[in-house]
Amino acid sequence: MSFKWVRGELIGTGACSRVYLALNATTGEMFAAKQLTVVGEIDSRQIQAAYAVKAENETLDHPNLVQFIGFEETDLSEHVSFMEYVPGGSIAGIILKHGKIGEESTKSFASQILTGLGCLHSKGIDLRADNILVEMTGVCKISHFGISKRLNGANSDQGGARASWLVPEILRNEGQDPKSDIWSVGCVVLEMWAGSRATSNVEIATMFEPPVPDGVVLTPLADGFRNKCFAINPEERPTAAELRSHPYLAQTVMDPQGHRDTPIGT
């Protein structure tokens, strides 16, 4: 990169990376710096993955995707990607702090996630609540797309992901494709409905759809949306564009006083 920057506080960690708040020393702009430290026997894979993500991210420009700013190789062992900083945190963090997310916001977030996926769907990504960031204005942005799959392989989720995130085709060792992301959208929506992170092992044991969380009562439209996401046969799942047009996402929810549902739940 051609600009000078200052590394700030650590704001996130991954299996092979750390994310820092950073400052452009010339303009004062804040951004996120994702440091990939290359160690051990997977050095070459990490380097190749980082450069592949760089090449792809440079072509993406969408309001529901975290914007790629640049890339820097500081030495033989450290590679840094510069990304847009989203100060609102992740959907996972919102759930941890606030519990259930309001129905209107759940539908807004789901619609925006699907819009972003429409831009990425030729790629296939590692989608989960931790990787979906929310601006203070309520705009959702998908982050970390691409690198996890390249570093670990298409079937890597068995090693470290929550049981509930494992889609049937991955459990059957059939690989992962864009329709797998639709299953993951369903998991994110379930977590927003429940106000807690999914931890059930039912999916590994049965390879059936995740159950409706205890205490969650779904309308027929919401249940129909859920069923679309969790079709066992990936060919029966809709595309992101098709799912975004589902009637559930167009339905307006009112509270008992006749007002629109509040942005974030309890």
Active site residues: 126
- Rounded CA separation 184/177 (Å): 12
Q: Collect all residues with Cβ–Cβ distance below 8 Å to 242 and sequence separation of at least 6.
A: none
In terms of Cβ atoms closer than 10 Å to its own Cβ (0-12, 13-18, 19+), residue 10 is exposed
Which 8-state DSSP code applies to residue 3?
A: S
In 163-204, where do the E strands start and end? none
Closest CA to 105 of 70, 65, 132, 69: 132
The DSSP bridge partners found for residue 79 are: 36, 73
